[in-house]
Amino acid sequence: MSMTTGGGGGYSSDINMTPMIDILLVLLIIFMVIVPVTPKGLDALVPQPPKNPQKEPPSSDRTIVVQVLRHASGAPAYKINETDVYNGVGGPAAQKELLARLTEIYANRAERVMFVKGDDDIDFHYVAEVIDIGRSANVDHIGLMTPKIMAGQ
């Protein structure tokens, strides 16, 4: 073993390893603490089947179709799933009754889908009014039903 005395006066090219090892150990401890804290997956709630299974409502009860029909007086008449909305001639009273019934139907529904079907000879603004009434009744999705096109025509 040899020892050097301070007489050389030049620079030493040896790297001092002590501070580098201190930094390495601190980083190692930090990463050891952080890694177990990170989440390993997502917590998901899986829907469970009902304990008392009840009969599913038929799809005809779930699907709401509002028909806009041409009345003899020229004002539109409305039907919800083949049920007349208003007994008198259409107009503002029939629209209010339609809004009240749609609001009642969609009050407790999670699926808020409605279809609008208009007669061939009725003006489109009556169909647009039914769409506005549906939006007022908090219906999320409104679809328009068109007549089926016959093959060969």
State pLDDT tens for residues 40-96.
666 666 666 767 666 555 444 578 888 888 877 777 888 888 888 876 666 778 888
Mean predicted lDDT score pLDDT of the chain: 77
Distance CA 132, CA 135 (A): 5
In DSSP notation, 113-143 reads EEEEEE-TTS-HHHHHHHHHHHHHTT-SEEE
Contact between 96 and 133 under an 8 Å Cβ cutoff? The reply is: no
Backbone angles phi, psi at 72, to 5 degrees: -60, -30
Domains and CATH numbers, the chain: 63-145 (3.30.420.270)
Helices 92-105 & 124-136 angle (0-180, nearest 10): 40
**Cα separation of the two ends of the chain:** 108
Distance CA 148, CA 140 (A): 25
- H or E, element range at 27: helix 18-34
The 10s digit of each residue's pLDDT in 103-140 is: 988 888 888 888 998 888 888 888 889 899 999 888 88
- Predicted structure pTM score: 0.56
Q: pLDDT value at position 2?
A: 52
